[in-house]
């Protein structure tokens, strides 16, 4: 049976302190991907490193660009070429063909764009190629940037219905305390009942990346909840992918919980660019959060309607105290929603099949 794995490798793993690509790490990664491919896995690689690789093009060139945003775009454009050429050469030595996929958050906003990208990636994987995905830093704007490539990898894992998401970093996994404390241990398996995110994770970001362990943990928990197993592990281990897909213990595992439909997987990627929102009363909130019921959002439970959304748009659901409960696909537009709010006996504004609730 064909299985799918999304592998995300961060800038700190790929690059040295001066921004140069670590060829030994890259070669080990490519050899592992080739091994997985030979054993029946379809591999999608989410790779950071373009901006970092581009930082080595020379100060004489970069100094000509004074604007910091433009400078980053220049580094991304130049670095992406170096990064992909390195990957192409290494994968070719293993008999594999790569394909570059550049994306932005806007590609996840509408169902049409989402399905189009999913179709392309599905075709590449079916053809036996290795898609290498990265955010299009050259044209991305702040409002539509991914938090980091961990977020992108999580969204892609849901999109392609991956069996496993592997987030490779410079640490062996999630620690149960301060990593500098000798008594701290790496958590082998994350337990939602036992472990609390704010108690075990130190917030922080690296010099070469926007995300820290807090981001990785949030993405891992969300992705596991959608039905994909997740592992956070050390990318510097030359056998790490073979370990996490085999029987050896490595990194921190997040067991898959439940099985989300393709529609809910898309909604999980669209929850932060909704076209509008509704606020529900306490009765509706309790019904939506009752794990023993499959509940749609009915107009009778809606108190306020905000935004000018159309039929089919994604809208957020808020509790009375402002907490985001989830999001869903609106069955009718904002005018009709305002007209019907609070009324009994009406069709659901959001049907359960198109409702995604935040954990």
CA dist 177 to 138, 183, 188, Å?
38, 9, 14
Taking Cα atoms as reference points, which of 342, 347, 317, 319 lies closest to residue 331?
347
Q: Which fold has domain 3-260?
A: Carbamate kinase (3.40.1160)
| Structure tokens, 178 | 């301060």
pLDDT of residue 190: 85
Distance CA 316, CA 158 (A): 20
Residue pair 281/344 in contact (Cβ under 8 Å)? The answer is no
Give the Cα-Cα-Cα angle 51, 53, 54 (nearest 5 degrees). 60
pLDDT of residue 207: 39
Total Cβ atoms within 10 A of residue 347: 12
Q: Which CATH superfamily is domain 274-357 in?
A: PUA domain (2.30.130.10)
Residue pair 148/209 in contact (Cβ under 8 Å)? The answer is yes
DSSP structural state of residue 172: S
In sequence order, what are the residues at sequence separation of 6 or more whose Cβ sits closer than 8 angstroms to the Cβ of residue 334? 276, 305, 307, 308, 309, 310
Predicted structure pTM score: 0.85
- What is the 3 state secondary structure string of 249-318? CCCEEECCCCCCCHHHHHHHHCCCCCCEEEEECHHHHHHHHCCCCCCCECHHHEEEEECCCCCCCEEEEE
Buried residues in 151-183 as b, exposed as e (16+ CB within 10 A): bbbbbbbbbbbbbbbbbbbebbbbbbeeeeeee
| Per-position pLDDT tens, the chain of length 359 | 789 999 999 888 888 766 678 889 999 999 999 999 999 999 999 998 777 777 766 666 666 777 777 777 777 788 888 889 999 999 999 999 999 998 888 788 778 888 999 999 999 999 999 999 988 766 655 544 666 788 899 999 999 999 999 999 888 888 876 667 777 788 888 887 776 666 665 433 343 344 477 778 888 999 998 999 999 999 989 999 999 998 788 899 999 987 788 888 888 887 677 889 999 999 999 999 988 888 999 999 999 999 999 998 999 999 999 999 999 999 999 999 999 999 999 999 999 999 999 87
Q: Where are the domains of the chain?
A: 3-260, 274-357
pLDDT of residue 147: 65
pLDDT of residue 137: 66
């Amino acid at each position: 049976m064909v299985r799918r794995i999304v592998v995300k490798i961060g800038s700190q793993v790929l690059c040295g302190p001066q921004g140069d690509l670590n060829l030994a790490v890259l070669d080990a990664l490519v050899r592992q991907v080739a091994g997985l491919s030979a054993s029946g896995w379809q591999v999608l690689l989410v790779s950071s490193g373009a901006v970092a690789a581009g930082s080595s093009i020379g100060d004489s060139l970069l100094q000509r660009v004074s604007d910091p945003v433009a400078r980053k775009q220049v580094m991304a454009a130049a670095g992406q070429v170096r990064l992909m050429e390195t990957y192409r050469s290494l994968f070719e030595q293993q008999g594999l063909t790569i394909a570059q996929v550049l994306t932005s958050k806007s590609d996840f906003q509408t169902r049409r764009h989402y399905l189009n990208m999913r179709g392309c990636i599905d075709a590449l994987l079916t053809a036996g190629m290795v898609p290498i995905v990265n955010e299009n830093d050259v044209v991305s704007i702040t409002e539509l940037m991914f938090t980091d490539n961990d977020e992108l990898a999580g969204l892609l894992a849901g999109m392609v219905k991956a069996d496993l998401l592997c987030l490779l970093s410079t640490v062996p996994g999630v620690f149960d305390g301060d990593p500098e404390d000798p008594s701290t241990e790496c958590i082998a398996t994350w337990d939602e009942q036992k472990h609390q995110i704010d108690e075990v994770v130190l917030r922080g970001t690296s010099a070469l990346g926007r995300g820290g362990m807090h981001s990785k943990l949030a993405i891992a928990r969300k992705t596991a909840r959608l039905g994909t197993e997740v592992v956070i592990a050390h990318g510097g281990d030359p056998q790490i992918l073979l370990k996490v897909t085999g029987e050896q213990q490595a990194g921190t595992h997040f067991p898959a919980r439940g099985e989300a439909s393709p529609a809910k997987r898309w909604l999980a990627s669209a929850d932060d660019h909704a076209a509008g929102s509704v606020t529900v009363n306490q009765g509706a909130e309790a019904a939506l959060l009752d794990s023993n019921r499959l509940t749609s959002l009915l107009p009778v439970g809606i108190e306020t309607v905000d935004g000018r959304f159309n039929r089919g748009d994604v809208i957020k659901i808020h509790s009375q105290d402002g907490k985001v409960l989830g999001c869903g696909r609106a069955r009718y537009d904002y005018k009709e929603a305002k007209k019907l709010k609070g009324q009994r006996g009406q069709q659901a504004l959001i049907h359960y099949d198109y409702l995604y609730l935040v954990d």
